[in-house]
Structures are given as C-alpha cells and as structure tokens.
C-alpha cells in the first residue's frame, strides 16, 4: 500500500482570472476536484502546504486525502498542476477523486536497481540510459505501489531491459499490452560516448509551466 498524503481545502464559488490572482496574492492556490461520479468542485488550498507537498517524492503518484471545509476526506490523486514559469509558485491544481472499490489508472515511478552489481557499468565503463521513468498501471487506490523495481544488474554492454522483464507487485496490472510487436524498452547500457540521445517519456501526471495570465481558474 502506498503512502497517503493529506491536504485541507476550502470550497469556492467565484471564478475568473481576477479572482484567481487575488487568491494567489493571499497565499492560496485555486484548484478543482472532479471524478468518482461527483460534480466538479472549485476549491482553494494553502500555497505553502501544496508547495511543500510537491517536494516530497512520489506525491503526484500517491493517494491524497483531500478534506474540503473540514468534511470527511476524499481519496484523490493529482492529475495535473501548473507552476509559474519563473517563480517558485504553484498556480493551479487538478485533483481526481477516486473510489476505493474501483480500479484506477495511474503512473508510478520506475526504480532501477542493481547498478552496483552490473559488470557492464562497474567494470566496462558502461552508462545506464533510462528511457522511461514511469509506468502506467491499473489497480485499486489502496494497492498503488511506492514504485516499480527494475533490476538492471544482469544487463550486458549494449543490452536493454524491456517491459516484459518487469515483475509487478500483487494486484497490480500493466496498462500497456505486451506482445511480439509491443514490448517497450525501459533502459539500456552503452559506453558513455555512445549513449543514444533519447528523451524519457512524460508521466501521466502533467506538470506545466505558465505565466499567471495563461492558467485555468
């Protein structure tokens, strides 16, 4: 079971750019929560609480207990958040409410282990090239793992670890279908000078940067 974070929020009825600016100036973050068969609800949160939470590893891939106006908390995940392009400021968040009895899809971090025991890296000058840093899984909220371990200790020079090599925790399924034509590469080992320039895939939880004028309210 993954760690559960907690945040307190206040319901709001006013919307619009001007109102959102006023909220941010007063140390608040405008946000919205939707999903779990409920109507979308506009809320605000304390900026300091949100900012500090985002510094914690795994916050965007864990269940967040969101209490609105002191009511019983909703189980949510961070679906999207926007940060200011030049300031250490969170401008907006999207929370998705989840049902404890319904499976959900979420991206969790991949944790590459075994580098210290990989001869290609330790003895042959190889460099680990991570191609994908997250994995999209399906499970109940209470079964979300902290991360998915990927063992690279057995990799040889110029070899690759694929999705089919990963052992998932109990009660967790991979969203992607693995077959002869689809078996994504997760990481590879090459000599440092020959490391391919391949960008890592983006996680499902979207972080965007923007000016205050271009943010949803």
Question: In terms of DSSP H, where are the helices of the chain?
Answer: 17-25, 47-54, 119-122
Nearest to 139, CA basis, from 108, 182, 184: 108
Distance CA 116, CA 119 (A): 8
Domains in the chain: ranges and CATH: 5-99 (2.40.240.10), 105-191 (2.170.120.20)
The residues pairing with 52 across neighbouring beta strands, listed in sequence order, are none
Residue 19 has pLDDT above 80, yes or no: yes
Residue 127 has pLDDT above 80, yes or no: yes
Longest dimension (CA), the chain: 62
For 152-202, what is each residue's pLDDT tens digit? 999 999 999 999 999 999 999 999 999 989 999 999 999 987 445 555 555
Asked whether 163 and 183 are in contact (CB, 8 A), the reply is yes
- Mean pLDDT, residues 50-60 taken together: 92
Distance CA 62, CA 75 (A): 10
């Amino acid at each position: 079971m993954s760690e559960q974070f907690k945040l307190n929020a206040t319901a709001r009825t006013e919307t619009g750019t001007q109102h959102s600016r006023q909220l941010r100036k007063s140390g608040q973050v405008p946000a919205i929560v939707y999903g779990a068969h409920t109507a979308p609800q506009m809320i605000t949160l304390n900026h300091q609480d949100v900012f500090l939470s985002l510094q914690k590893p795994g916050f965007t891939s864990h269940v967040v207990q969101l209490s609105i106006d002191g009511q019983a908390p909703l189980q949510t995940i961070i679906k999207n958040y926007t940060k200011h392009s030049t300031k250490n400021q969170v401008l907006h968040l999207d929370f998705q409410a989840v049902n404890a009895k319904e499976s959900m899809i979420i991206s969790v971090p991949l944790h590459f282990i075994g580098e210290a025991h990989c001869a290609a890296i330790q003895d042959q000058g190889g460099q680990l090239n991570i191609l994908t840093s997250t994995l999209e899984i399906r499970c109940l909220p209470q079964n979300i793992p902290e991360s998915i371990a990927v063992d690279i200790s057995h990799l040889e020079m110029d070899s690759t670890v694929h999705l089919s090599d990963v052992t998932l925790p109990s009660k967790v399924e991979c969203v992607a279908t693995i077959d002869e034509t689809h078996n994504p590469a997760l990481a590879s080992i090459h000599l440092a000078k020959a490391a391919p320039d391949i960008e890592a895939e983006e996680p499902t939880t979207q972080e965007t940067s923007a000016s205050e004028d271009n943010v949803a309210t």
